[in-house]
Structure 1
């Protein structure tokens, strides 16, 4: 989900206060040495940033306040782990803004004003569209790894499909709480009128994440950082 309009001062500062520490911690905990040691993972990292930024252009806008689209942060977390997933999401938001700036300049020359509005909304978009699904996916992976039933399908289905589906509900709850606490009446009114969209987005979110995660885990298991081959395929 993207926040498309200029946020209120309270919404902006609360989002920055929550998002900035998360980014700092992610930068500190990210496995940079492992990433730099593998050219394949570096290519996957760069490709994910560019692909997500482009994919997020395909969204349904609601009154120019909220933009709904599959987030794909669950599979990103499964592949890179939570710290790098937060960084990928932040860079993808910047790439998405650059794409929109270029499109606005090519179409009507109004890219500067457009980009200023969306630049101010980046902390809100990061907090809701990146941090919430990444945090939820990390929790689901933690729980699935400790489930006594050993089967790869618990990873594909539990994290990729159902975990990603439920992230839409957590996103809806988090956005409502954030808008309510900061007194963002306009955004809250749009949320209340279109809350059903969070439910409708559950299936495409689960399908996209689950399908990509399944293909990657089956064909390139070494690329999926959070997949424990020794655990899911080990002796029961």
Structure 2
């Protein structure tokens, strides 16, 4: 099956973004820092396994948890982009996603959630009082809800724009499910970050006792 024009444009943008991120990331850290090695590959494995669990009410309309807000807070912006893209590519290789959709899935399903999460985190860090519960609810819980909503609404718009599905099919079998996914995704990310910060704060790149706990 050949790609549509929108799919080809999405592939080019996704590839260009990925190349740019690679050139700005110190990849040698994976070879020299054993702890970082474990964190990165552990995070990639967790996200990959999570993405294996998916449902489809209508053929071609796939719904699954993202967990990308947690990934972003744990690894930081650039590494989460690389790991998220790697997981997407592996998911496509094993046949869970199609090669025609890899650009669209990369832009809407990986880049967009990570960019939004990091933007919220950056805004909260510089503009909002830094405190433990602010970090959990504003930087993890809220972005979790926001990213799944933006991803599903973004894909809904794409399916309609590219003529892949009709409005009735997209709306009743995919878009409406957004409401049901918002709270579970938000809770999953908030709960994950709470556990990591309480028990393994050294694994979270964006969290420091100095800013969020000491003297509060």
Superposed pair shares fold, TM > 0.5: yes
- Among residues 179, 204, 213, which one is paired with 1:224 in the alignment? 204
How far apart in 2 are the matches of 1:93 and 1:33? Answer: 22
Q: For 1:1-236, what aligned pairs fall within 5 Å after superposition? A: 8-100=3-95, 118-180=98-160, 183-187=161-165, 189=167, 190-193=169-172, 194-235=174-215
How far apart in 2 are the matches of 1:148 and 1:122? Answer: 36
Checking the alignment, whether the CA contact within 8 Å between 1:7 and 1:121 is kept in structure 2 is no
C-alpha spacing 1:74/1:148, structure 2 compared with 1 (3 Å): closer
**Larger RCO, structure (CA 8 Å, separation 6 or more):** 1
How far apart in 2 are the matches of 1:234 and 1:187? Answer: 53
Normalised TM-score (structure 2): 0.88
**Per-residue Cα deviation, 1:162-207 (whole angstroms, up to 9, x for no partner):** 1111112222343244445xx3122463433331111211111111
Report the RMSD for the aligned CA atoms in angstroms. 2.3
Quote how far apart the aligned CAs of 1:233 are: 2.2
Structure 2 gaps, min length 5: none
How far apart in 1 are the matches of 2:166 and 2:198? Answer: 42
Checking the alignment, whether the CA contact within 8 Å between 2:156 and 2:175 is kept in structure 1 is no
Checking the alignment, whether the CA contact within 8 Å between 1:19 and 1:126 is kept in structure 2 is yes
Quote how far apart the aligned CAs of 1:7 are: 7.5
Deviation >6 Å, runs of 4+: none
Checking the alignment, whether the CA contact within 8 Å between 1:49 and 1:95 is kept in structure 2 is no
**3-state secondary structure, aligned to 2:56:** strand
Checking the alignment, whether the CA contact within 8 Å between 1:65 and 1:187 is kept in structure 2 is no
**Per-residue Cα deviation, 1:86-123 (whole angstroms, up to 9, x for no partner):** 111111123323444xxxxxxxxxxxxxx8x7122222
Equivalent pairs, count: 214
